[in-house]
Amino acid sequence: MRTDENSIKSDEIPASGFLDRMQFFYELFPYPNRPMFMRPDPEGSLDAHAGFSKMLAEKGSALTPCQIEDLRLRDVRFEFPRNKKIALVGCGTDEPLLFRMLHPQNPILAVDLSLKSLKRARRKIYWHRLRPVTLIQGDATLALREHAPFSHIQCFGVLHHQPDPKSMISAMAQSLERNGTLRLMIYSRTGRRLERGIQRKFTGLWNPAAKDSQSAEGSAFTPASGWKLFLASAKLLCWRLALPLISPKAGAMRFRYIGLSRARLADAFLHPSDHPLDLKDVLNWSKSAGLELVAHDSKSYELGPLNSHSDTSNSLETLVSEEDRGNISSNIVLVFKKVGAESWITR
């Protein structure tokens, strides 16, 4: 696999079955596909900076909520040398731009299955006149292996879509240098029940013969699925527009995060492979891959923010039990540090 900065090279390794289906989906609905001119605010995205994860990994619980509050971009930039390599796993259309703004000099490798998403990401970086990012189309687990080691990996909203999430965790762990960091976001298993319930109603679009999402996943989809999915997304958009009238309180509030974005609607309701991940499994897989959890961030309906570096409700046990009780109302962000020995490089 050859790569040039900002020129997209196709991965020669064929993505089969499961990943084909997901690639097909994200070619139709590149995500999150925000408008080209929208420029992310780096100060407002401080926690995405690799230096922020590095501080969490190095200082751990010694970092007080006040110190975190006082952090500025220049502080976290100082923590993360400009020659350190960053990987974006399943970068979508917008992460490369954000990371280039946060890290103007660092080598950044952005991998995605969807060529359309990468083209969009490249155009955004040109539009904002920023330094190129290396873009690779293909399965991230393979691309990581080829380009390791990395000092920081970001994997947001990707793990719960994988055919084998455990092996993706292990590929990311093995691609990190010692003390490197992984910032991972997964959907809450219980918090997404409603979206997954609605997704089941659209399973037939992927394969009319399939009676449930499990059998649909294993089978081939037809090109006609494309326009049917597109039509379904248009209907969903109408539904979303009408929601404040149909259900002003519960419905409109519950799906407010989607906004009026077709990409977000499709991602929430038409996704071909949105798997509930058990948080305990994710933690166990990470541990056995040589990753140590250094921070977590989420929100509970009853307890409010569950943040490892806040003053209240900060223990991991609380997060796990709130997830088990179906009380998590947000995505779950986990930051890990590589402590184990196994790597592509040392083998």
> Applying CB under 6 A, which part among 88-96, 247-255, 279-287, 309-317 lies near ligand SAM?
88-96
Number of CB atoms found within 10 A of residue 117's CB: 29
Asked whether position 158 contacts ligand SAM by CB under 6 A, the answer is yes
User: What residues contact residue 15 under an 8 Å CB cut-off, 6+ apart?
Assistant: 23, 113, 138, 139
Asked whether position 31 contacts ligand SAM by CB under 6 A, the answer is yes
Cα separation of 293 and 60, whole Å? 10
Q: Which of residues 231-270 bind ligand SAM (CB under 6 A)?
A: 267
Asked whether position 48 contacts ligand SAM by CB under 6 A, the answer is no
Q: List for the chain the helix, strand, coil content (%; round to 5).
A: 45, 15, 35
Nearest residue (CB) to ligand SAM, 95 versus 322 = 95
Asked whether position 29 contacts ligand SAM by CB under 6 A, the answer is no
Asked whether position 184 contacts ligand SAM by CB under 6 A, the answer is no
Nearest Cα to Cα of residue 21 among 151, 134, 113, 121: 113
Tell me the two tokens of residue 307. Answer: 């943040």
Q: Answer yes or no: are the C-beta atoms of 37 and 268 closer than 8 Å.
A: no
Cα separation of 309 and 319, whole Å? 13
306: β partners: 298
Minimum CB separation of residue 238 from ligand SAM in Å reads 23
Asked whether position 277 contacts ligand SAM by CB under 6 A, the answer is no
- CA–centroid distance for 86 within its chain: 15
Nearest Cα to Cα of residue 15 among 175, 158, 140: 140
Binding mask 291-330 for ligand SAM (x = CB under 6 A): ----------------------------------------
Nearest residue (CB) to ligand SAM, 94 versus 323 = 94
Nearest residue (CB) to ligand SAM, 95 versus 323 = 95
Cα-atom radius of gyration of the chain, to the nearest Å? Answer: 20
Q: Answer yes or no: are the C-beta atoms of 244 and 252 closer than 8 Å.
A: yes
Binding mask 6-25 for ligand SAM (x = CB under 6 A): -------------x--x---
Nearest residue (CB) to ligand SAM, 94 versus 297 = 94
Binding mask 201-230 for ligand SAM (x = CB under 6 A): ------------------------------
Nearest residue (CB) to ligand SAM, 24 versus 80 = 24
Cα separation of 215 and 191, whole Å? 24
Total of chain residues touching ligand SAM, rule CB under 6 A = 23
Nearest residue (CB) to ligand SAM, 327 versus 333 = 333
Minimum CB separation of residue 139 from ligand SAM in Å reads 4
90, 149, 272, 290: which one binds ligand SAM (CB under 6 A): 90
95, 217, 297, 323: which one binds ligand SAM (CB under 6 A): 95
CB burial readout 156-190, b (16+ within 10 A) else e: bbbbbbbbebbebbbbbbbbbbeebbbbbbbbbbb
Cα separation of 118 and 30, whole Å? 9
Nearest residue (CB) to ligand SAM, 264 versus 309 = 264
Asked whether position 274 contacts ligand SAM by CB under 6 A, the answer is no
For ligand SAM, the binding residues (CB under 6 A) are 19, 22, 26, 31-32, 90-92, 94-95, 111-114, 117, 139-140, 156-158, 161-162, 267
